[in-house]
Structure 1
Amino acid sequence: MKAITQAKYGPTEVLRLTEIDRPGVKANTVLVRVQAASVNAGDWHLMRGSPFLARLMFGGLLKPNIKVLGFDVAGTVEAVGQAVTRFQVGDHVFGDLSECGFGAFAEYATATEEALALKPNNLTFTEAAAVPGAAMTALQALRDIGQVQPGQRVLINGAAGGVGSFAVQLAKAFGADVTAVCSSAKVARIKSLGADSVIDYAQVDLSQKEVYDLIMDVAAYRSVFDYLPLLKPQGTYVLVGGAIARLFLVMILGSAISTLSNRRVKSLIVKPNTTDLTVLKDLIEAGKLVPLIDHLYSLEEVPEAIRRLEQRQVVGKVAIRI
């Protein structure tokens, strides 16, 4: 089969379109004929081996253990192991392969049942592939960490990215009043997702006091301390993405900051699972969630797709048609 592979860490030039063996099916796995994939920040972190923590988490201190990147996938079930009960050959599925060894940038990939769900009926494979990682991140940040409630005021910083664009829609689906923050060039597209107000990130008024019940920071390039005054007492700040130094600060000192500030300061570690994929499927089929795709590339163009994402000019998701 054809796949995008890498033998060393580095820029997009280390990625090559090659022929490799099709993965085999184990008793508890599903073989998926990949119809589409999408690109995430995690892909370019693993490609570059940076930050170094990525190497520690996934192995390969000097060279990558993961030869085929990509974890967002949508496709058709080609074969199932004898212990598989949820899926059968011919099913249209989508899912997150980040706990199954990755491998979505290829013509075939394997996954456990827990990594997949049936594809939403009203999405194409390309649209469905844009959903799993980003939408599941947004869902768990808002519902599980943020515990968002109807009528609450929610600020989403970094609303124009993959996670942010889903977060805007999910927060509205949960009944919140949503303020989205993005660059001025992206305001119109994010407004179309249903945000109650959209602010240019350069115009965020940090002098406001106790405005929001929940702040979801998908692009954490300002300090958490800049945002704390905007939170109501007992409000929640959830860090999802951005500068690594900001992430480590919240991971290490979040509990102490929470105690001293009377606000909850948390970071998110996403846990892919079929239950949340099914929640997202139901929301999509109910018309409450729509993937926003910035650009579509072929398998051969995966390096260019990752390069586009690294430049941080993407609105929504970058998809790959296999």
Structure 2
Amino acid sequence: MKAVVYERYGTPEVLELREKPKPTPKINEVLIRVHATTVTAGDWRMRSANPFLARLFNGLFKPKKVKILGFELSGVIEQVGSDVKTLARGDEVFAFCGLGFGGYAEYRCLSEAGVITKKPTNMTFLQAATVPIGSLTALLLLRKGGIEDRQKVLIYGASGSVGTFAIQLAKHFGAHVTAVCSGRNSELVRSIGADETLDYTKADFTTLNTRFDLIFDAVGKIKKSRRKKLLASGGKYVSVKGTTKPRKTDLQFVKELIESSRLTTVIDRTYDLETIQEAHRYVERFRKRGNVAVKVMG
């Protein structure tokens, strides 16, 4: 099978397209013929060992645990292990790969018990592949912030993957959403539900007189001293710098929202395995709107 491999840390040029052995599923796993994956911050940070913690996880001097990146994927199940009960050959699925990564390959084995479920019927493989990371991060952080009881929500970094999902999910839970992004993305975030937009390139949003019940920092950059000015009494701050542990039921919940037309994805650009270096370079510029998809097979 074809796979994008990296044997050393560094710039996108360390990513190489190679032939690798096709994996065989264990008794509790399914073998997925991967149709699409994405480039996320987690991918390029692992590739470049930024932050240094990536080296502690994946090898101090060179990658050891993970050599094929790809945090999320969509595809078709080609083979199932003998103990698999809820998934079958031919099922179209989408999944969060976890810290094993592996989406940058034509085939990937995943545990049936993992964060994997059938693909939304109203999405293409490319669309579905962009959903797990952004939507699950947004969902779990909003829940951590008690979104059900929050009326006014500020989302900073609203035009990225996590931010665009956070807008839609916050609206689903009944919140009034103020989205902070650049002016060029104002129309985009309004089109997916934002009630108000603030252009951070023209004004300092932390000087607002408005107080928010929940501040969702989708880029992890709001300093504590500045966000305290914006929080209402009893308000809460959540950030992508916090940890989340998604479950299969969370992805199934997201799927239901998609199929009922209450949640969608935003795709900025699409690449393929042959141009994965270019995709990484683009994502590292911090200018993407929503998600960057990668076509693998199909």
TM-score, normalising length: structure 1? 0.88
- Aligned residue in 2 for 1:70: 70
CA-to-aligned-CA distance 1:245-300 (integer Å, 9 cap, x gap) = xxxxxxxxxxxxxxxxxxxxxxx312132111100000001111110000011111
Instruction: Work out which of the residue numbers 274, 281, 285 in structure 1 matches 2:248.
Output: 274
CA RMSD of aligned residues (A): 1.2
Instruction: Work out which of the residue numbers 265, 270, 279 in structure 2 matches 1:291.
Output: 265
How high is the sequence identity, in percent, across the aligned residues?
45
Query: Using a 3 Å threshold, how does the CA distance of structure 1 residues 318 and 154 change in structure 2: closer, same or farther?
Result: same
Tell me by how many angstroms 1:150 deviates: 6.0
CA-to-aligned-CA distance 1:94-133 (integer Å, 9 cap, x gap) = 010014x111011001111222111000000000000001
Tell me by how many angstroms 1:85 deviates: 1.3
CA-to-aligned-CA distance 1:194-214 (integer Å, 9 cap, x gap) = 100011123243233561000
Q: Which amino acid aligns with 1:61?
A: L
Tell me by how many angstroms 1:61 deviates: 1.0
Q: Which runs of 4+ in 1 moved over 6 A?
A: none
Query: Using a 3 Å threshold, how does the CA distance of structure 1 residues 187 and 51 change in structure 2: closer, same or farther?
Result: same
- Aligned residue in 1 for 2:227: 227
Tell me by how many angstroms 1:59 deviates: 2.5
In structure 2, how many angstroms separate the alpha carbons of the residues matched to 1:13 and 1:5? 11
Tell me by how many angstroms 1:224 deviates: 2.0
CA contact (8 A) 2:9 2:62 kept: yes
Tell me by how many angstroms 1:27 deviates: 1.1
In structure 2, how many angstroms separate the alpha carbons of the residues matched to 1:190 and 1:208? 20
CA-to-aligned-CA distance 1:53-98 (integer Å, 9 cap, x gap) = 1222x33111112110001100000111112111010000001001
In structure 1, how many angstroms separate the alpha carbons of the residues matched to 2:83 and 2:197? 48
Work out whether 1:61 is the aligned partner of 2:35. Answer: no
- For structure 1, the 5+ residue unaligned runs are 242-267
- Aligned residue in 1 for 2:6: 6
Q: Which amino acid aligns with 2:9?
A: Y
SS in structure 2 opposite 1:122?
A: coil
SS in structure 1 opposite 2:263?
A: coil
Higher mean alpha-carbon deviation, 295-304 vs 312-321, is at 295-304
Equivalenced residues, count: 293
SS in structure 1 opposite 2:140?
A: helix
Higher mean alpha-carbon deviation, 146-155 vs 281-290, is at 146-155
In structure 1, how many angstroms separate the alpha carbons of the residues matched to 2:278 and 2:86? 36
TM-score, normalising length: structure 2? 0.95
SS in structure 1 opposite 2:105?
A: coil
SS in structure 1 opposite 2:205?
A: coil
- Aligned residue in 1 for 2:288: 314
- Aligned residue in 1 for 2:116: 116
Tell me by how many angstroms 1:151 deviates: 6.2
- For structure 2, the 5+ residue unaligned runs are none
